[in-house]
Amino acid sequence: MNHLKSLVIRDIKIFYRTKGNIFFSLLAVIILIALHFAIFRNVYTDNWTHITTEELGMTVPRENLQWLADSLMFAAIIPIGAITLSLSTLALMVSDREKNVLSDFLVSPMKRNGLLSSYLLSSFLLGFTALLGFVAFFQVYFMAMYGVSFTLAQFGLISLVTIGSLIFGNVFMLLIISFLKSETTLNAIGTIVGTFSGFVSGAYVPLGMFGQVVGDFFSAMPFAQLTVLSRQAFLHTLSDVTPLTHQDISGEVARGFGIELWLGDNHIPLWGVALMATGFTLLLLICLIVRFSRMKKAD
């Protein structure tokens, strides 16, 4: 336990020692937020205005629809941020490999599960702190713009989704990183994964615009599943903030905007979505444990 604690503290200190790490680990999320306010917010608000007026026959104040557009985008930031933050914080493993520090760890009496746990735990703590900061920002923003705050139950749901997203993000990224030997390759992988997760989660383009085949393919991935759970948490107070109810925006509308998970013509309930995301995470964790058990002197 003392060895694990020492390694976790070491990893966290190394991360914060380079001030640029903090900025670049949050860069993808900051860019997404900037794009939202510059472009996506008005586009999505106009889309929701058309849907509520033409399809639902309702007149909903534009401010309510802006809150809805903000909520959907901010919700997507949780799983996307979990992926990009995990990549940045776990980059230490690649650095350790290049400096032969990882080889020293692997030939030491230290148990490999302990080494694996240290990377995951330090990355989780760093990521959770950062995402909690974003949730606090969302809270302040909603209060200032709409006079709306997260309820205790809603904050609990958002926290659970954040923890689940970080667990998946860390396991997934560490499995990929364990095969990388240079930071140049890591940067390329980071660009690909960050962009891909943004599209799969529907942050850049609503999933409904991809068509059923591509939409179903994306929905089968844990990125989309975690985003659905996050959006359900952010929209927990939908009927309290707007004249809309969850029933009003269910079905094809919710499917198109990634609020509900559909595979083909089958609607997956929230417990099923959570079960699918958990199953993917456990499968990746097993692969990661096997990978670490077979590593020799950092390959």
Does residue 106 surpass a pLDDT of 80?
A: no
Are the C-beta atoms of 119 and 195 separated by less than 8 Å? no
Greater confidence (218 vs 169) lies with 169
Helix residue ranges per DSSP H, 53-111: 62-89, 91-98, 101-107
Does residue 66 surpass a pLDDT of 90?
A: yes
* 122 to 10, 12, 13, 190, 213: CA distances (angstroms): 9, 6, 10, 19, 38
% of the chain beyond a pLDDT of 70? 93
- Judged by DSSP in three states, 266 sits in strand
Tell me the mean pLDDT in the region 89-112.
Answer: 74
% of the chain beyond a pLDDT of 90? 37
The 10s digit of each residue's pLDDT in 123-165 is 899 999 999 999 999 999 999 999 999 999 999 999 999 999 9
How high is the pLDDT of residue 178?
82
Least confident of 27-31, 48-52, 206-210, 221-225: 206-210
How high is the pLDDT of residue 28?
78
For residue 246, which amino acid is it? H
Does residue 299 surpass a pLDDT of 60?
A: no
Greater confidence (95 vs 291) lies with 291
**Structure letter (DSSP) for residue 52:** I
Confidence tier at 257 by pLDDT (50, 70, 90): confident
Mean pLDDT for the chain overall: 85
Confidence tier at 114 by pLDDT (50, 70, 90): confident
Q: What share of the chain is helix, strand, coil (3-state, %, to 5)?
A: 80, 0, 20
End-to-end CA distance of the chain: 26
